[in-house]
Chain A
Amino acid sequence: MKLKKISTAFVLGGIVMGLSACQTNPSADSAKAIAAQAMDSKNVESKSHVSQSGVYSFMLNNGMKVLVKPDHRSPVAVSQVWYKVGGSYESAGVTGVSHALEHMMFKGTKKLKPGEFSEIIAANGGSENAFTGKDYTAYFQRISSDRLELCLRNEADRMRNLQLSEDEFKKEIEVIKEERRSRTDDNPSALTYERFNAAAFINSSYQQPIIGWMEDLDSMQLSDLSAWYKTWYAPNNATLVVAGDVDPQQVKTWAEKYFGVLKPSDITPPKPRREVAQMGERRITVKLPAKVPYLLMGYKVPVLKTRLKEQKDTTDIYALEVLAGVLDGGQSSRLSRRLVREKEIASSAGAGYDPYARQQTLFLFDGSPRAGHTVKELEMAIKEQIKNIQNTPPSAQELERVKAQVMASSVYEKDSVFYQAMQLGTLETVGVGWQKKDEYLKKIQQVTAQQVQAVAKQYLTDDSLTVAVLDPQPIDATKQRVDRAAGGRHGQ
């Protein structure tokens, strides 16, 4: 039950958004792995690049990027195709269209019947799925490495040849609404988070739920999806990531054969929609049938991408990562120690920061009070912890613990090829470049206590704060809940 968080501070978003770093200790790797890597590099042409962490990268003639991370421990491979499109690319009224299209990507092409791609993968012992985030949509297969080619062939097929059928859409949009009901509408903390997010951002598209508002799903048309597909699904808007027991040269050959022949599109990047200055605290209450109060707090913070774009120093980004670690990187961190164990105010309390997004995002806190304490007390206690770091830099030991965990994680993550591929795809698709992975550990190691204090002072200010409180209402089975504001007078 006690899920120990190794760097949960660095893991946000239900997926491991984390990051890792270069191989710090090559001598620890088996001689065979190094030999295998040397062999791999000989085979690939000079125009591709091998990074210090063993990632091969090359660009196809049509502008599609390919990243290969060989890992020969097991005879398996993961293939992921990442598109630069997601919830934050959408306009008001069509929220959820990226995710809806993701569902429809399994419904057949000119060559394949609805569901046939999935059947092929299953018959070959593979598993497959897809996911949609704020800044990306990605499709993946995990499969025995000798079957990799058929993943690439069929993935390339649906990049350009999707057949969107009205009949399939009519059913699938209902499936998506069911998904929304179970994920969000019938889950009090998720619904609170959705409202919190909508309140926190004024003009940034990060205010939109990835799955889409129910109203928008109700009015969604197949034509919305086909327009979306036409706009974004092109090789020059995609990155292929392959990891596992593969030969980079072979992957390159297949990538050229299947993806390289696809025509590129003119891609117009989304409108900037940069968040305006907040100018003061924002606060909402969400009243729902529930049992346990829940608090969410978010401060506007920069991300790696926004810093790079403004050509500013990126120290703050890594300092924010370490700050999240000091507050919530493991059971010894401050929130667990002070709020849960010492003051006994919180039943749970967490903090998190995700530096890998396209736009300014939130440094998040969440938690529930213990019985006998209020959400207000919890909020004050979290603010007290923030104040403490603003007044006094974290201790050397705290900093060392955070760094030790990050260093260890950079070794542990090698146990999962999927995770490694995920990191590369995320970094590349949010626009910071996958190479930033190689810098991560070094950058974290360089962060000082004073820098952690400085970012806490600079960014965790009341004027950039949004607070949402789930205010539990009686669970009354006789009361039907309403989805929409009635006559514009009351909603929920």
Chain B
Amino acid sequence: MASKKKLMNKKNLISKKTLNSKNIMNAKKIVLLVGFLFAGALSASPQIQHWQTQNGAQVYFVPSNDIPMVDVRIVFDAGSARDSAPLSAPDSTRDSARDSARKAGLSGTALMTNGLLAEGAAGDDAQILAEKFEAVGAAFGNGALKDMAWLNMRSLRDDKYLQPALINLKNILSFPAFNQASFKRELERLKITVKAGKQSPGTIASLRFFAELYGDHPYAQPSTGTEESLQQLTVKNLQAFYKKYYVGKNAVIAIVGQLSTDEAKKMAADLVAELPAGEHAKALPDVKALSEAKTIHIDFPSRQSTVLMGQPGLARGDADYYALYLANHAFGGSGFGSRLMHEVREKRGLAYSTYSYFSPMRAAGPFQIGLKTRNDQLQEAMKIIHLELEKYVSKGPNEDELGDSLKNITGGFPLRIDSNKKIAEYLSVIGFYKLPLDYLDTFVGHVNQQNKAKVDDALKRRIHPQKMLTVIVGAKSEK
């Protein structure tokens, strides 16, 4: 269940720029920064249709007739933010493991629950479930991050492929077995994933960054769990989690494909028909702002130092969202042309990758700046980033930077929704975060309404260079 990662995949191709999604504002979650929907040559502006099923699932549908296939994505408010938290703050992990059950919490529950769905359901074991999808060419996937847990499936439109795939998907969603043997196996595999994280400076930095940034907020806990929390997990925890969160009122269904509205309605209703209505997950606690700067250096025998710097940033629906999105684009969100890239890489050759982004989430997601540089260049690179951040917050972007960013965001809009896959992801984000149905239509307009005064004001109010959390993982250098 820990993603069957093909490590060898990454090595045959390298690229000038970091191809990971860190250059965009919302890297870890699904990216949604888009504006209006366009009128394509064939597709009229895809209007989002929205309704709810009898048991309260929110459905978002865009018909798309060009390719004989269907994408469906079912999202639950059942990410790791819903895992039982440890009773003490993470910086007290030095304590003995005596009361470990209470201390460790149950992080990993959301991911394990989601992962176990396809490991056995409705009398079929994992093998049969996989065969049923693959025999009709359907592609099934699932996963969980901090906010969302999801299942997604892509199938050919022809009913002889689509209908068996939908039945299988419904079974996985409605009748998961949670048997002990699968649980044990997947738990062992997740433990290996957690262990592998300890050989990766990037993972070490990120886990510590979230732990420090969020303190006793649920976002502090890693989705993958910790060695300690996984020790405590039982199949009962998963069953209880499933029962509480995999319910109609806690579900969003996004559908894009070659279907009529009636067909989509029937499909959505049928998929979740066996789920009780239940309740929507409760609001998450607010995120506390940092009260002072804090820097943590974790010694690690790597060539580079990995730096993550940041603060709590934005929740979805925040009034400053558009201003800060634009501000970040010019600072570190747009790759080449951004200040960070220019000052750190292009002018000085200090790094391959440096970026910043806001990751708007249910509760305030992080504002994060990232950098990797040779250990002996760490101080120099950090100095530049601090300087640039202070300058940017006090003076804001110049008019040229602002204009360039506006042009890129508005002109690049069609690229963000040029496939069914992307549209399905956007629909699920709109549904999950209860964004207005015209969110896509109005995005570019909202961005265009920003100006220097608004951006400067938002930066000053929301970013505090004197109170940044900094996590560094790398070998300390004398320099």
Chain A contact residues, CB within 8 Å of chain B = 1-6, 8, 11-15, 25, 28-30, 32-33, 36, 72-76, 99, 102-103, 106, 114-115, 118-119, 122-127, 129-134, 142-144, 147, 170-179, 181-183, 185-190, 193-194, 197, 210-211, 245, 289-292, 294, 296, 329-332, 336-337, 340-341, 344, 347-348, 350, 352, 354, 364, 366, 368, 370-371, 397, 400-401, 404-405, 407-409, 411-412, 414-417, 472, 475-481, 483
By CB atoms of chain A within 10 A, which of B12, B189, B304, B408 has the most?
B12
What B residues does A411 contact at CB under 8 A? 67-69, 156
Q: Which of B4, B68, B140 has the most CB of A within 10 A?
A: B4
User: Is B414 an interface residue, CB under 8 A from the partner?
Assistant: yes
Q: How far is the CB of A212 from chain B (nearest CB, A)?
A: 10
Interface residues of B in 12-44 (CB under 8 A from A): 12-17, 19, 38, 40-43
Chain B residues whose CB sits within 8 angstroms of the CB of A187 once the complex forms: 200
Q: How far is the CA of A132 from the CA of B19 in the complex (A)?
A: 13
A477 touches B65 (CB 8 A): no
B residues in contact with A400, CB < 8 Å? 135
| Cross-chain contact B304 with A371 (CB below 8 angstroms) | no
Contacts A13-B9, A289-B199, A401-B134 given: A73-B42 contact, CB under 8 Å? yes
Residues of chain B contacted by A129 (CB below 8 angstroms): 15-17, 19
What residues on A are CB-neighbors of B301 within 8 Å? Answer: 289, 475-481
In Å, the complex CA distance between A124 and B9 comes to 32
Report the separation of the CA atoms of residues A14 and B20 in the bound assembly, to the nearest whole angstrom: 12
Say yes or no for B85: interface residue by CB 8 A criterion: no
Subset of 11 A-B contacts with CB under 8 Å = A1-B144, A30-B42, A72-B41, A75-B414, A125-B412, A178-B372, A181-B372, A337-B127, A348-B192, A408-B138, A417-B418
Q: Which of B12, B38, B43 contacts A13 (CB 8 A)?
A: B12
Contacts of B345 in A (CB 8 A): 175
Most buried by A among B1, B15, B38: B15
Q: Give the docked Cα–Cα distance between A174 and B111 (Å).
A: 40
Q: Which residue of A lies closest to B43 (CB)?
A: A73
Are A350 and B8 in contact (CB-based, < 8 A)? yes
Q: Please give, as numbers and ranges, the residues of chain A lying within 8 Å of B16 by CB-CB distance.
A: 102-103, 106, 129-131
Q: B3 an interface residue at 8 Å Cβ cutoff? A: yes
The SS class assigned to the A binding surface is mixed
Considering only residues 38-60 of chain B, those with a C-beta below 8 Å from chain A are 38, 40-43
Q: Which of B41, B144, B157, B420 contacts A75 (CB 8 A)?
A: B41
CA gap between A76 and B43 in the complex, in Å: 13
Cα distance, A404 to B115, chains bound together (Å):
25
CB pair B41–A36 under 8 Å, yes or no, is yes
Interface assignment of B97: CB less than 8 Å from any CB of chain A: no
A132 touches B14 (CB 8 A): yes
Within 8 A of A (CB), among B275-309: 299-304
Nearest B-chain residue to A179, judged by Cβ: B352
Chain A contacts of B7 at CB under 8 A?
189-190, 193, 294, 366
Q: How far is the CA of A332 from the CA of B119 in the complex (A)?
A: 11
Contact B8 A366 (CB under 8 A): yes
Min distance, Cβ A145 to any Cβ of chain B, angstroms: 8
Contact assessment for B115 and A408 in the assembled complex, using a CB-CB cutoff below 8 Å? no
Nearest-neighbor residue (CB-CB) of A366 within chain B: B8
A364 to B10 alpha-carbon distance, docked (Å): 13
Cβ-defined contact, A408 with B139, below 8 A? yes
Output the nearest chain A residue to B158 by Cβ-Cβ distance.
A28
B321 touches A (CB below 8 Å): no
